[in-house]
A and B are shown apart, each in its own frame.
Chain A
Amino acid sequence: MAKIIDETPRPTAKDRITKTVNDVQGSQVWTSIFRPGSIFRKGYTDSPRNRSYVVMNSVLYHLHPVKVKRHAVKVSYTLCLGGLSFFLFILLTVTGIFLMFFYRPTDVAAWNDISNLQTSVTFGLLVRNMHRWGAHLMVLSVFLHMARVFYHGAYKSPREFNWVIGVVLLMLTLLLSFTGYLLPWDQLALWAVTVGTNMMGYTPVFGTQVRFVLLGGKEIGSETLLRWYVLHVLLLPFVIVIFMAIHFWRVRKDGGISGPL
C-alpha cells in the first residue's frame, strides 16, 4: 500500500495565529477602519513616515502638529496644565452625563436624587465625587495655566488674542463650576449661591435685573434650579467648547507653543 508522505511539517499553533492575524489585518474591512500610520495596521514599523501618519490620520491627535519644538515637550515648561484642563473637561463631561441619568432639577426631587445616587446607584457616590473634585481641580488647573502663560510671557505678539480667549475660558470655567454648585440643592449649595448672586445684584444700573434673570425670580427657588441646570449641562458647555476650539486652533495658527525663555 502506498503511503503519502507530506514533507512539510504541520503548522504550529503560533503559525496559525500569525496567519490569522495577517489575514485579518490584510482584510479590506480592517484597512478601511485603520488609516495609514495606525499601529494596528499590517506591517507597522516605527518610521518617521509612520510617526507623521499617526498624528495626521487620527481625528483626536491631529489637534497637534506632526512635529513640535523639542523644548515644548519638556514637561517642566508647560507642566501639562492646558492639556490637563482640557482632559478634566472631558472627564467632567463623562461623569456629568452619568449623573444626569439620576437627577431631576426640581426643588422637591433634586436633593433626594443626589441622596439616592449616593446610596443606591452602583458607583453613584464615586462618580459624584469624581465630578465634584474634578471640577475643583479644573478651576485650579485653568488658573495655574493662566499663571504659567503669564510668567512665560507667552501672551505676547502674535498670541494676544489667544490670551483674551483664554481669559474668557477661565470665566466660563468659573461659571460652569458655580452653576453646578447649586444643583445638589443642599444648604451649602443654596447659601453659597445666595451669597454669590447677592454680589451680582450690586451691578450698577441693571443689578436688580441681572439678578432677576439669573435667579428666574426675586429669590432662589425651583426656577433658579432649572435655569442653572440648563446653563450647567447645556448652554455653558456648548459655549465653552466653541471657545476651546478657537483656543486650540489659534495655538497652532499663532506658531505653536511659545519659545523658550
Chain B
Amino acid sequence: MTEIPEHLLKRAQAAREKAAADVPSEVPAAAAASEPAADPRIPAHLLERSKAAKSKASGESSGAVALQEKVASVVAAAPTGGGLPVGAGPGGHTQRLLTVIKSGSIQDVKATPVDKVHTWPHLLAAEFVAALACTAFTFFFSIFVNAPLLQLANINRTPNPSKAPWYFLGLQELLTMFHPMVAGVTIPGVGMIILIFAPFIDKNPSNKPEDRKFAISIMTVHIMFWAVLVIIGSFFRGPGFNFVLPWRDGLFFDL
C-alpha cells in the first residue's frame, strides 16, 4: 500500500476535528428551523431563506416590490467592504444558485455506456482460431481434392457444354432467356448499380429486422433468385446447355 503524505493526514485530522466541533452547535439550529419537514439534505440557511420568502409573500401581495427590494439588496451588497455583505445569506454566503444544468444538455453524455472488452485477447484469439480453421480446411480439402487441369487449350475444339466460372453461371443462365445485351450487360449492370446505391436508396434508419421487412425480403428474394440461377446453370445444364438432371445424366461442371 502506498504511504499517505504527512500533510494530507494532518489536513484530514484537522477537518475531522472541525466537523466534530461544528455538529453540536449546528444541530439545535437546524432542529429549530425545520418544524414540519426537516430534510437533512437541505442546508439550514436555504430553509430559512425560503421561510422568509414565504412569509414575505403572504404579507405583501405584490411580488414586483419584493423583487425590486431583492435586486436593490444584491446591488447594495457589492460595495460593502468589511464585515458581512448586506445581501449575504445566514451562513455569510454571498453566492447563489442561479440554475442547474443537467448533464447531457451541453455535454455529450452517452446515455448508455458501451460495454467494451480488450481486443487482445477477446477478439484476436477468435480471429486466430478462425484463420487457423480456414487454413486447415483449405489444406485438407486440397490434399484430397485436386484442382481440375483439362487438356491443353484448343481454340478449334469447343467443349460441349462450355461453361463460365460458377459465379458467372447465373448470367449464362440468363443468356438462355434474354438477348445477350440484356442478360450479359443490362441486368448485371443495373444490379451492381442498385447494390452500390443501396445505402442511399434505403432511407430507413433502423437496423432492426422487424423494421426492415421490405428491405430484407427484397434482398432475400434476389439472393435466392441468383442462387437458383447459379445452381441450375452449374448442375442442371448439360450438352448444348440443355436442361439435364444431374442424378440421371451426370454432372457437367468443373470448378
B118 close to A69 (CB less than 8 A): no
A227-261 vs B, CB cutoff 8 Å, 1 = contact: the mask equals 00000000000000000000000000000001101
> In the complex, are the beta carbons of B199 and A156 less than 8 A apart?
yes
Are B123's CB and A261's CB within 8 A?
no
A80 within 8 A of B: yes
Question: Do the beta carbons of A84 and B123 come within 8 Å of each other?
Answer: no
- Which chain B positions have C-beta within 8 A of A42? none
Residues of B within 8 A of A67 (CB): 116-119
B208 to chain A, nearest CB (A): 6
Does A202 sit at the interface, judged by CB under 8 A?
A: yes
Interface range on chain A (Cβ under 8 Å from partner): 35 or more
List the A side residues contacting B55 at CB < 8 Å: none
Number of A-B contacts (CB under 8 A): 214
- Cβ contact within 8 Å between A75 and B115: no
Interface assignment of B214: CB less than 8 Å from any CB of chain A: no
Instruction: Tell me how far the C-beta of A121 lies from the nearest C-beta in chain B, rounded to whole angstroms.
Output: 14
Taking the complex as formed, is B172 at the interface, i.e. its CB lies under 8 A from any CB of chain A? yes
Contact A73 B126 (CB under 8 A): yes
- A70 near B117 with CB under 8 A, answer yes
Q: What residues of A have a CB within 8 angstroms of the CB of B254 in the complex?
A: 188
Query: Told that A152-B207, A154-B207 touch, could you supply 16 new A-B pairs with CB distance under 8 A?
Result: A68-B123, A71-B115, A75-B130, A87-B130, A88-B134, A111-B149, A126-B143, A133-B147, A136-B255, A153-B215, A156-B205, A186-B153, A187-B159, A196-B165, A203-B185, A259-B207
- Answer whether A202 and B185 are a contact pair too, CB < 8 Å, given A72-B123, A107-B153: yes
Cβ–Cβ < 8 Å partners of A41 in chain B: none
- State in angstroms the CA–CA spacing of A136 and B171 once bound together: 17
